[in-house]
């Protein structure tokens, strides 16, 4: 729930009084902001990614595959770390429903009125495996007879 204009003004006045009274404490409180924490993580991940690129290139140049693979793994880990930290910093969500709101595969199939593999088990269905006598031949393809 957002603050009213009056509450926002009061909050700003308290913040200004805090900065004037104890600037070190105000800076410490500002540093405790989660966005500052995640921004530092994104910067650290970017530096780690650059180090990973360096390892990858060094491994390729000196022809030591282990170093090149380690560089790639560092790059991958740092990129994932940066993306998740950026998402948390900006509040971006993945768009997926929470786990409690999602249904299991069994529930989805029951809602559709069938079970998995219903078409494959239906009578009269022909296998589509090449080389099988009951398979439907491709148009223009030679028919192999056994």
pLDDT digits (tens, 9 = 90+) for 33-62: 677 788 889 999 999 999 999 999 999 999
Place of tokens 């070190």: 24
- Identify whether 99 is part of a domain: no
Could you tell me how many residues make up the chain? 146
**60 found inside a domain:** yes
In a domain, 10, yes or no: yes
Which residues constitute the domain of residue 1?
1-32
pLDDT tens digits, one per residue of 60-115:
999 999 999 999 999 999 999 999 988 888 877 666 655 555 666 777 777 777 66
Is 79 within the bounds of a domain? yes
Does any domain span residue 103?
no
Q: What angle do CA 81, 86, 88 make, to 5 degrees?
A: 100
Residue 103 has what pLDDT?
Answer: 65
pLDDT at 38: 86
pLDDT of residue 67: 95
Total domain count, the chain:
2
Q: Does residue 78 form part of some domain?
A: yes
């Amino acid at each position: 729930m957002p603050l009213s204009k009056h509450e926002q003004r009061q909050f700003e006045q308290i913040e200004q009084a805090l900065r004037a009274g104890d600037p070190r404490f105000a800076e410490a409180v500002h540093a405790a902001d989660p966005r500052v924490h995640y921004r530092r993580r994104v910067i650290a991940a970017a530096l780690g990614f650059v180090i990973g690129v360096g390892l990858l290139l060094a491994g390729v140049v000196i022809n030591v595959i282990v170093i090149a693979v380690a560089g790639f793994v560092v790059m991958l880990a740092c990129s994932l770390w940066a993306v998740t930290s950026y998402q948390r910093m900006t509040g971006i969500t993945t768009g997926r429903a929470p786990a409690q709101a999602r249904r299991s595969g069994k529930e989805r199939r029951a809602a559709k009125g069938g079970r998995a593999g219903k078409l494959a088990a239906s009578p009269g269905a022909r296998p589509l495996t090449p080389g099988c006598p009951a398979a439907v031949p491709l148009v223009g393809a030679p028919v192999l007879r056994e």
